[in-house]
Amino acid sequence: MSTYLTILGYNSAIPTVNSSPTAQLLEMEERHFLIDCGEGTQVQLRKAKAKFSKINHIFISHLHGDHCFGLPGLIASFRLLGRETPLHVYGPKGIKEMLETIFRITETHRGFEVVYHELESKNSEKIFEDKRVEVFTIPLNHRIYCNGYLFREKPNERHLNMAEISKYPEIETCDYHNLKLGKDFVLSDGYVLKNEILTTDPSASVSYAFCSDTRYDERIIPIIKNVDVLYHEATFLHDLKEMADYTGHTTALEAARIARKANVGKLILGHFSNRYPNLSDFIREAGEIFQNTVLPQQLQSIPID
Amino acid sequence: MSTYLTILGYNSAIPTVNSSPTAQLLEMEERHFLIDCGEGTQVQLRKAKAKFSKINHIFISHLHGDHCFGLPGLIASFRLLGRETPLHVYGPKGIKEMLETIFRITETHRGFEVVYHELESKNSEKIFEDKRVEVFTIPLNHRIYCNGYLFREKPNERHLNMAEISKYPEIETCDYHNLKLGKDFVLSDGYVLKNEILTTDPSASVSYAFCSDTRYDERIIPIIKNVDVLYHEATFLHDLKEMADYTGHTTALEAARIARKANVGKLILGHFSNRYPNLSDFIREAGEIFQNTVLPQQLQSIPID
């Protein structure tokens, strides 16, 4: 199952004609996770030809407008499109009061349930789990309570080695499930066939970490260690390090340092301040520390593998 | 002073890739009035190259999302742009609670005052007046409390007829003000010079009426009588008249009927249901009743004269 990240917007603070505020769509194991939802996200989703009905989980990092002002409109549109399935919204405590106040006053009567998962913990916690995917919070260090999110495929099943298996007529189709889970097979004469003879290693499970907005904070490194792709905000270049600290943000150099120390596969930068007309400086600065750094492109779909 | 209406968006309900929800910018006598503010309005304002700092008055017709979900983001951006002057927001009761809840939870600390003018009356009332312009509510008939707005230039001053005035050395520059106001001039010998000899008629004062969303309701006709331009919603074609009534909307034919009965100069239709791919049917239907009917174009600037 392929995993794709679609960048819907990566701008900070004020939306412009050409760039939208933060929002991403992660397709992992056929789940469609929306991450942050700045104003205009529903139009970006349309441009990306996303299927609204497949979005059942929305993860909001923090309650600054450029990360959540698209939520009321998106949820209102879900209703107009006839949605019936529950929608799970994960975000800081307060998100329920805000949305429910808006829905009450704007008479947005929903035909579906919004299930709020309000977050308050300062520690990383598992907030979602199903058969194939787990999601953990990544406590960040911003001006306001803020979490990144770690999305992780569960370990895949081992592949059957049919050439070996076919040598043992005692092994039946109903045994394959246990073999895929890594169990040995005991023949009727008591001989134990080791699992690694009958199967080969599973495909790698992929992982994605979304970190926005935050000061440079090495406490996130154990949580995001070895992820395949890390999105980390880089609002400023390092000559404005003081401004970054003051406003609760990170510099490109610092984001790269996090990526290197966490040994991630790829770093995507984002959330650039509007003061920078030319983003290539971000790649130059980060690339010296962590080579596999890329800039996001709006509506770009990035495979995670 | 020219008056211009810029259509920022005219879509109903769900924003699409090519059309934004309702928002208009009216420039009248150098005042910049924003009318309704659906999601994405701040980006539409940027596309229209509007000067954010000149917008001091925002008029919201009703608290359905497609008419107000752009407000929180726009006001947050005003703050980020360093605004200090007060912002006046006119809209139904509830708008203050909604916005203030959002600003509290998203920690949108404003450096300027938002002055709320909450409306509850079911009668037309004057809600704004300065030296040059008056604004009145137009009570509409929607599913939720809703007002249109009538913007009216105050009568212009009379033009001086310098050819006549120069014949009377007694008339000095300091007398011009009274002449422009229509006063006669009394010569020192007691002879009264009639004002209409010394001045010519003033330029016409223009007026604009914005009516969205509403069922067909002739009670608005006395309020909008003889306006130069009327924007009236026309969500459906007349074969869906029942649907229009049920959802609190108007058909193209009905909007044209209102325009004809109110003897307006021009009718702009809008707020079309997404079910119609081809809007020319709206012009065809309305045009049979009221010929000077036009479709809005996004970001189009329409002179009002």
pLDDT digits (tens, 9 = 90+) for B155-166: 888 999 999 999
Whether residue B184 is preceded by a cis peptide bond, meaning omega within 30 degrees of 0, is: no
Express each pLDDT in A228-258 by its tens digit: 999 999 999 999 999 999 999 999 999 999 9
By residue count, chain A amounts to 305
Strand B199-200 versus strand B207-211 pairing type: unpaired
Each residue's pLDDT tens digit, A93-112: 999 999 999 999 999 888 89
Report the alpha-carbon distance of residue A159 to residue B195 in Å, rounded.
100
* Active-site entry in A66, A201, A213, A305: A66
Report the DSSP pairing between strands A159-160 and A229-233.
unpaired
In chain A, how many domains are there?
A: 2
- Kindly tell me if the per-residue pLDDT of A122 is higher than 90: yes
Whether pLDDT at A135 is above 80: yes
B65 touches chain A (CB under 8 A): yes
Given A200, A233, A258, the domain boundary residue is A200
Chain B residues whose CB is inside 8 A of the A144 CB are 107
Say yes or no: A141 and A185 in one domain: no
As for the ipTM of the complex, it is 0.89
Contacts of A14 in chain B (CB under 8 A): 42, 77, 80-81
pLDDT of residue A140: 97
pLDDT at A1: 63
pLDDT tens per residue, range B259-273: 999 999 999 999 999
- Of A178, A200, A222, the last residue of a domain is A200
Spatial CA neighbour of A295 closest among A287, A303, A32: A287
Are B38 and B88 found together in one domain?
yes
Measured CA angle at B190 (ends B186, B192), to 5 deg: 45
Q: What is the pLDDT of residue B203?
A: 84
CA distance, residue A95 to nearest chain B CA (Å)? 8
For residue A66, the chain B residues in CB contact (below 8 A) are 73, 76
- Angstrom distance (rounded) from CA A89 to CA A96: 9
E-strand spans in chain A? 3-9, 23-28, 31-37, 55-59, 87-92, 114-119, 126-129, 133-139, 147-153, 159-160, 185-186, 192-193, 199-200, 207-211, 229-233, 266-270, 293-294, 301-304
Same domain, B236 and B127: yes
Q: Are residues B49 and B189 in the same domain?
A: no
Residues A32 and A73 in one domain: yes
Of B137, B171, B200, the residue at which a domain comes to its end is: B200
Residues A139 and A114 in one domain: yes
Using only C-alpha atoms, what is the Rg of chain B? 22
Indicate whether A169 and A224 sit together in one domain.
Answer: no
Question: Residue B188: pLDDT band by 50, 70, 90 thresholds?
Answer: very high
CATH of the domain at A25: 3.60.15.10
Greater model confidence, B110 or B96 = B96
pLDDT of residue B2 exceeding 90, the answer is no
- Which residues are CB-neighbours of B166 under 8 A, at least 6 positions away? none
Is the same domain home to B287 and B182?
A: no
Q: What is the mean pLDDT of residues B121-129?
A: 97
What average pLDDT is seen over chain B?
95
CA distances from B188 to A176, A288, B197 (A): 117, 89, 18
Same domain for A84 and A194? no
Stretch A142-156: mean pLDDT: 95
| Mean pLDDT confidence for B21-39 | 96
- Are A175 and A133 contained in the same domain? no
**Model confidence over B41-98: pLDDT tens digits?**
999 999 999 999 999 999 999 999 999 999 999 999 999 999 999 999 999 999 999 9
Is the domain of B182 the same as that of B240? no
**Model confidence, pTM:** 0.90
pLDDT band (50, 70, 90) for residue A203? confident
Mean pLDDT of all residues belonging to chain A: 95
Q: Residue A65: which of B14, B73, B101 has the nearest Cβ?
A: B73
- Cis, bond preceding B189 (omega within 30 deg of 0): no
**pLDDT band of B1, cuts 50, 70, 90:** low
Q: Do B168 and B27 reside in the same domain of the chain?
A: no
Domain range for B174 = 159-200
